[in-house]
Amino acid sequence: MHFSIKLNKEVIFMKKSFKSLVLKILFLLILVFIFVLKTEADDKLNVVTTYPYIASIVKEIVKDRANVDYLADSKLDPHHVVPKPSLAVKLRKADLLIINGASLEIGWLPPLMDLANNNKINFGTNGFLDLSQYFDLIDKVDNVSRAKGDIHPDGNPHFYLDPYNIPKIANIITERLSILDNKNSNFYKDNLEKFKHKWEQKVKDWDKKMENIKSLRVFEYHRLFDYFFKRYNIVLIDTIEALPGIPPTSKHIEDLVKKAKDEKIEVIITDVYHPIQPVSYISEKTGIKFIILPHDVYSIKEVNDIFELFDYIVNNLSSFSK
Ligand SMILES: [Zn+2]
């Protein structure tokens, strides 16, 4: 009896020590696994962009050889992103920050940059890239309208909504990636060429579809699609906003109802984040249709990359062919 208890205790002890050994080995394995993962992750360049459309272009170029993340929720106003601390965490880890620029991020990015305190992505370093610097902006406004609260003080910042500007953006990004991650430079350049080739084919398609709707007369809510309109000769008669960022007064809405009839407006274009009421009101009063167009990747469920963004815009606008 005594012997049997002792034996049992030994067995239990052996079982316990075996269990603890297994646990120790498991723990060590997990540590090794984390270390391997971390080394692999650290090896890759961390690219953070302010908007999903930029991230989509970056992904076309880097594929899986860099980590790509973005800050803004594209279902909301790109001018007014909430600077949550979680966004500063993304910036803290970034090796390269790519912004749209032209004051689009002026209201929300600076406090996040302060919070992140990451020297690698400071203005003027290779880790900071402002795309707007490479484009001639339209709608440069004077000081008078700026004093009224215009949120396009440097001109219209939504230049990426012209499909002809996308290859240039891809070139600029590839050039910077090649400087920061030289070992993958050839890989990035190859992907750039493939992307530009595919884009060229798509543009031919879009151009063809848009040919039928030249001189379409429109209202839009915010001056989001002006570069697109300019590219395809769509005639913007007025905006639902009084000025960029300034909500419409009821008088302005009534003026637009009259103007819509007088100017033979064919469609009212709005976006996913402005209030729908002024648009549906004008539409009801005049019988003119309105459409909601995405201004960025992920702003609607059908748009998950830069190709789908223009596919959606073109397919919806071209349904208004005459
Ligand atoms: Zn704007």
Same domain, 63 and 151: yes
Same domain, 67 and 190: yes
Extract the tokens encoding 188. 């990035």
267 C-alpha to center of ligand 1: Å? 20
| Contact assessment for residue 228 and residue 161, using Cβ atoms and an 8 Å cutoff | yes
What confidence tier does 13 reach under pLDDT thresholds 50, 70, 90? low
Same domain, 7 and 146: no
Q: Which pLDDT belongs to residue 36? A: 54
105 C-alpha to center of ligand 1: Å? 10
Q: In what order do the strands lie in the sheet with 45-49?
A: 66-70, 45-49, 96-99, 128-130
229 C-alpha to center of ligand 1: Å? 15
**Checking DSSP bridges between strand 290-292 and strand 217-220, what pairing results, if any?**
unpaired
Extract the tokens encoding 164. 């002809």
User: How far is residue 222 from each of residues 176, 215, 248, 273, 286, measured CA to CA in Å?
Assistant: 32, 19, 11, 10, 20
Q: Which pLDDT belongs to residue 1? A: 46
Distance CA 283, CA 29 (A): 64
Say which DSSP state 251 is in.
H
Same domain, 167 and 59: yes
Residue-range definition of the domain harbouring residue 135:
44-205
Distance CA 143, CA 28 (A): 64
Extract the tokens encoding 320. 């208004």
182 C-alpha to center of ligand 1: Å? 35
Choose one of 154, 187, 205: the last residue of a domain: 205
pLDDT tens digits for range 20-50: 666 566 656 655 555 555 555 568 999 999 9
CATH (domain of 266): 3.40.50.1980
Same domain, 93 and 30: no
Q: Which pLDDT belongs to residue 49? A: 98
How many domains is the chain partitioned into structurally? 3
Distance CA 102, CA 137 (A): 8
Same domain, 181 and 196: yes
Same domain, 8 and 98: no
Asked if the model's pLDDT at residue 14 lies above 60, the reply is no
Same domain, 49 and 134: yes
Kindly give the residue spans of alpha helices, DSSP state H, lying in 212-299. 226-231, 250-262, 277-286
Same domain, 48 and 154: yes
List for the chain the helix, strand, coil content (%; round to 5). Answer: 55, 10, 35
237 C-alpha to center of ligand 1: Å? 17
157 C-alpha to center of ligand 1: Å? 6
Same domain, 25 and 50: no
pLDDT tens digits for range 292-321: 999 999 999 999 999 999 999 999 999 887
153 C-alpha to center of ligand 1: Å? 10
161 C-alpha to center of ligand 1: Å? 12
Provide mean pLDDT across the span 281-297: 98
191 C-alpha to center of ligand 1: Å? 31
**Checking DSSP bridges between strand 217-220 and strand 128-130, what pairing results, if any?**
unpaired
Q: Which pLDDT belongs to residue 10? A: 57
277 C-alpha to center of ligand 1: Å? 20
Tally Cβ neighbours within 10 Å of residue 121. 23
Provide mean pLDDT across the span 241-266: 95
pLDDT tens digits for range 96-132: 999 999 999 999 999 999 999 999 999 999 999 999 9
12 C-alpha to center of ligand 1: Å? 71
Choose one of 190, 205, 220: the last residue of a domain: 205
Distance CA 210, CA 189 (A): 31
Same domain, 151 and 276: no
77 C-alpha to center of ligand 1: Å? 9
> What is the SS3 assignment for 166?
helix
Choose one of 172, 205, 238: the last residue of a domain: 205
26 C-alpha to center of ligand 1: Å? 53
Same domain, 34 and 57: no
Provide mean pLDDT across the span 204-230: 95
102 C-alpha to center of ligand 1: Å? 10
Q: Which pLDDT belongs to residue 214? A: 82
158 C-alpha to center of ligand 1: Å? 6
Distance CA 268, CA 219 (A): 5
Asked if the model's pLDDT at residue 144 lies above 90, the reply is no
